[in-house]
Structure 1
Amino acid sequence: MNRRTATSVIFIGFFLLGMVFILWGIMLPDLAKSLVMSELVSGAFFTLISIGAITGAFVGGKYIQKFDFMSLFACLSLSVALLLVFMSSVNHWRWLLLGAFLLGFICSSLFTIGHTMIARLHAERRSTMMGLMDFMFSLGTLAAPFYISALYLIEHDWRWPLRWLALAIIGLAAYAWYAARRGKKFNLPAEPQHRKSLSYGEVIKRPIFFFLALAAIGYGAVEFGNANWFVSYAQQGRGFSGEEARMTFAFFTAGMVISRLGFSSLLRWMSPHRLMIVLAGIMAVGAFTIKFAIEPQLMSLGNLLVGLGLGGLFPLMLSSAMDIDSDKGPILSGICVIGSSVGVQLASFGTGFWASFASLNTAFWTIPIGALWLLAMVWIYSRHLKSHLQHQNKTID
C-alpha cells in the first residue's frame, strides 16, 4: 500500500467523521421534539459522547500500536456505520444516550489512528498535512448543514440523514479494508520496531504537554460547545428560524475550512508559537461577538471569526507537539482528544444544566468563558514551545 492510498482513506474518513460529529447539534431541536428530550437530557447526550471519547482516546493512545492501523480503521468505521443505523431506529432517548457513549468511544480511536498515520507518513510536511486532514474534518462539518437541509426538503425526519451517512461510511470501511489487504505488511515511517503500549504518565508530566492538554480542553469547549448549542441558542435565544439558524452556523464551519486550508501558508512569515496566539485571539473576539450580537449578519461574522481562529489552532498545536516527540504520536493525539472531550463535556453538559435553571440565552455564556480559557492556555503553551525551540537551537549550535 502506498502513501497516497493510506492518506486518501484517512482524509475521506475525517470528512465523514466531521459530518457525524456536527449533525447532532444541528438536528438537536428535532431530536428533542421527537424523543421528548429536556435540556438536561440533551446536555447529557453530548456529555456521554465526550465520556466515550475520553475512554476511547485513552485506550487507543495506549494500545493501537499493537494492531495494523488500516485494518483497525476499517473495522472501527464499520462499527460507526452500524451504530448510526441503530441510533436512527431508537424510539426512546435512553437508547440514544447509550449510542452516544459508544459513538464517542469508537470515533476517538479513529481520530488517534488518523493523527498518528498522517504525522508519520508525512514527517517532512507534518503541519501542512495534519492541517489538510483537519480541513477534511471541517469540510464535513461545513457540508452537514446543507446535507441535512437537502434531505429535509424530501422528508423532515432526523432519522434519514443518519441512515444515508451510515451507507457512505460502509463504503469507507470497504475501501480501508481493501487498502489494508493490499499492503498487509505495510509499516509506517518512524514506527517503533516493537509494538508496545505507551505511557501517558511520562508524557503528561512534561509541562509543555501538560499545557497542551489544558489548551485542548478550551478548544473542545469552544468548538463543540458552539457546534452543539448554537442552532438551539439562535432559535430560542434570538428568535431565528431553523433554516436561518443553520445557515448562520454555516459561517462557523466555513471559517474552520478556510483556516485549516490556509493556516500553514502563514508559517512562512510567522513562527508556530506566534501564529497560535494570533489564531486564539481571533477566536476569542468571535466568541464574544456571537454572544453580544442580535442581528444575523453580526452573528454570522462572529461564527466566521471563531471558525477562522479555531480551524488552524488544533493541527498547529498537535503537529508542534509531535515535532518535539514523534514517537509518542498516539499518546499526544490521545491527550488532545481527551482534553478536547473534557472541554466538550464541560461546555455541552454545562450549558444544558445551566439552561435548566436559567434561559439558554444566559447559559450560552459558557462559550465566551471557554474562549478566554483557551486564549490563556494557548499563550502559556506557546511560551513553553518557544523556550523549547530556543533551547534546541542552542544545542544544535
Structure 2
Amino acid sequence: MSRRPVTIVIFSGFFLLGMLFIMWGILLPDIAADLAMSELVSGGFFLLFSVGMMLGAIIGGKYVSKFEFLPLLAVLCITDSVLLLVMAHLQHWQSMLAVVFVIGLVSSSIITIGHTLIARLYEEKRFAMMGIMDFMFSLGTFAASFYVTLVYSFALDWRWTIRIVVVMLLFLSLYTWLAARSQKKQLAGQPKAQGQTLKYSDVIRRPVFLLLALVSFGYGAVEFGNANWFVSYAQQGQGFSGDDSRYLLAFFTAGMVISRLTFSLCLRYFSIHRLTVIMTTMTLAGAAGIKLGDTFMQIGSFNLLLGLGLGGLFPLVLSSAMNIDPAKGPVLSGITIIGNSLGVQISSFSTGLWANFAPLTTAFWVIPLAAVWLWLAGWYFSRQLKAINLSAGH
C-alpha cells in the first residue's frame, strides 16, 4: 500500500475533525438562539455527541477490519458530509440532537480507521507519526476559532460555517475514493487479506490493555475537564478578565501542540515506560499547580506544563499498546476512544454537579483528582509495559 495518499487522507481528515469537534462549542450559542434550545437541551447536545462517539468506537473497533479501509473511509466521509448538510438546514432542536448523535458515531469510526492505518503503515516510526496525526487534530481545533471568525466576517451565519466544512469533506471523500481506486489497481491479482471481526473480550482480558482504557479515561477527564471549565474557573474563581482567562487557556493548548510534535524525540533518551511516568507526573503537577496558583504567570506556567505532559501521552500509550499486538489496532483505538469519552462525560458532569452545591473554585478540584487517577493508571500501565518488554527480551 502506498503511504503518501493514505497519509494525506488521514492527516487531512483529522484536521477537519478537530475543527468540527471544537466548532460545536463555538457555534452552540448561535445554534441555541436560532433553535430555541434551553441549557438542558444544549447539554444534551454534547452528551449525545459523546455517546455517539462511544458507540462508534465500539462498532468501529469490532467491525472495521472486515472491510477495506480506504473505500470504507470514503463512504464514512461522504456520510458525515451528508449528515452535516442536513444539520445545516434543520429548524428544530429535536432533529438536531438526533443528527449530532449519528455524526459522533460516524466520526468515531473514522478516527479508529485513522489510528489503525497510520500504525500499520509506519511500524518503524509509529510513535512519531501517531504524534503528528494527533497534532493535526489539535491544529484543527486551533484553527476553528479563526475559521468561524473569518466566515462570520462575511455576515454569514452558523449554518454557512457547517456548509463550507461539508464542501471540504466532500473534496476529501473524492480524493479518498480516487486513492482507493489507485490502491486497488496496484494490488490487482494479489491475494486479499481475510476480513475479520475483532473481539473486545480478547483484548480486555490482558491487564495492559485494561490499563490502557483506564489511562484513556483519566486522559479525557483531565483534558476536557480543563478545556471545558478553566475559563469559567479563572473568571469566577480567580477574578481574571475574559480575555486573560482565554489567554491562560492558550498556554494549555500550546503545550498540547508542542508535546504532540516533540514527544517522540524524547524516546531517544527515555524508555517508553519511563516517559509514560514522566508525562503523567508533569500532568499531575500541572493540574495541581493550576488549582493552587493565583497569579497570571503561575497559572499560565502550570497550564503550559499540563499541556506538555498531556499532549503526547495519548499517542504514546496507544502506540505502545499497538506495538504489543498490531493486529488488534482497531479494538485498541476503540478502547481509548470509549475510555476518553467516558472521562469527558464524568469529569464535565461531576464538575458542574459539584458547582451546584459549592463554589466553582471547590468543584474545580475534579481536574486535579482526575490527574491523580491518570498518574496511578499511567504508573501501573508503565509497569506492565516494562514487564512485557523484559519478557520479550528473554
Flag the 1:8–1:88 CA change in 2: closer, same or farther, 3 A: same
Flag the 1:156–1:212 CA change in 2: closer, same or farther, 3 A: same
1:45 is paired with a residue whose SS is helix
Flag the 1:175–1:89 CA change in 2: closer, same or farther, 3 A: same
TM-superposition CA deviations, 1:331-373 (whole Å, max 9, x none): 1111111111111121233334444555555443332222221
* In 1, Cα distance between equivalents of 2:237 and 2:84: 30
5 Å-filtered alignment, 1:1-397, equals 2-31=2-31, 35=35, 37=37, 39-155=39-155, 157-184=157-184, 193-234=193-234, 243-358=243-358, 360-394=360-394
1:184 is paired with a residue whose SS is helix
* In 2, Cα distance between equivalents of 1:353 and 1:41: 16
* In 2, Cα distance between equivalents of 1:31 and 1:293: 36
RMSD over aligned CA atoms reads: 2.6
Flag the 1:256–1:234 CA change in 2: closer, same or farther, 3 A: same
Matched residue count: 391
What amino acid is aligned across from residue 282 of structure 1 in structure 2? M
Whether the 8 Å contact between 1:26 and 1:246 is mirrored in structure 2 is no
Whether the 8 Å contact between 1:65 and 1:197 is mirrored in structure 2 is yes
> Which fold has the larger relative contact order, with Cα–Cα distance below 8 Å and residues 6 or more apart in sequence?
1
TM-superposition CA deviations, 1:148-196 (whole Å, max 9, x none): 3444444485444333323222221121112112212667xxx993211
Residue segments in structure 1 that go unaligned for 5+ positions in a row: none
Whether the 8 Å contact between 1:39 and 1:353 is mirrored in structure 2 is no
Flag the 1:272–1:39 CA change in 2: closer, same or farther, 3 A: farther
Identity %: 55
TM-score w.r.t. structure 1 length? 0.89
What amino acid is aligned across from residue 74 of structure 1 in structure 2? A
* In 2, Cα distance between equivalents of 1:32 and 1:359: 26
* In 1, Cα distance between equivalents of 2:173 and 2:227: 26
What amino acid is aligned across from residue 52 of structure 1 in structure 2? G
Flag the 1:214–1:45 CA change in 2: closer, same or farther, 3 A: same
Q: Tell me how far 1:260 sits from its aligned partner.
A: 0.8
TM-superposition CA deviations, 1:70-91 (whole Å, max 9, x none): 1111121122233333334444
Whether the 8 Å contact between 1:231 and 1:242 is mirrored in structure 2 is yes
Flag the 1:177–1:335 CA change in 2: closer, same or farther, 3 A: same
* In 1, Cα distance between equivalents of 2:239 and 2:40: 21
* In 2, Cα distance between equivalents of 1:231 and 1:96: 27
Flag the 1:196–1:383 CA change in 2: closer, same or farther, 3 A: same
* In 2, Cα distance between equivalents of 1:270 and 1:378: 16
* In 2, Cα distance between equivalents of 1:24 and 1:291: 27
Whether the 8 Å contact between 1:39 and 1:355 is mirrored in structure 2 is no
* In 2, Cα distance between equivalents of 1:367 and 1:341: 15
TM-superposition CA deviations, 1:106-150 (whole Å, max 9, x none): 111011100110111111111111111111111112222333344
* In 2, Cα distance between equivalents of 1:89 and 1:231: 31
Whether the 8 Å contact between 1:145 and 1:247 is mirrored in structure 2 is no
TM-superposition CA deviations, 1:296-324 (whole Å, max 9, x none): 54443333222211111011101101111
* In 2, Cα distance between equivalents of 1:293 and 1:178: 53
* In 2, Cα distance between equivalents of 1:92 and 1:232: 29
Q: Tell me how far 1:210 sits from its aligned partner.
A: 0.6
Flag the 1:240–1:166 CA change in 2: closer, same or farther, 3 A: farther
Whether the 8 Å contact between 1:45 and 1:100 is mirrored in structure 2 is yes
Q: Tell me how far 1:198 sits from its aligned partner.
A: 0.7
**Bigger Cα displacement from structure 2, 299-308 vs 174-183:** 299-308
* In 2, Cα distance between equivalents of 1:273 and 1:47: 34
1:268 is paired with a residue whose SS is coil
* In 2, Cα distance between equivalents of 1:387 and 1:314: 21
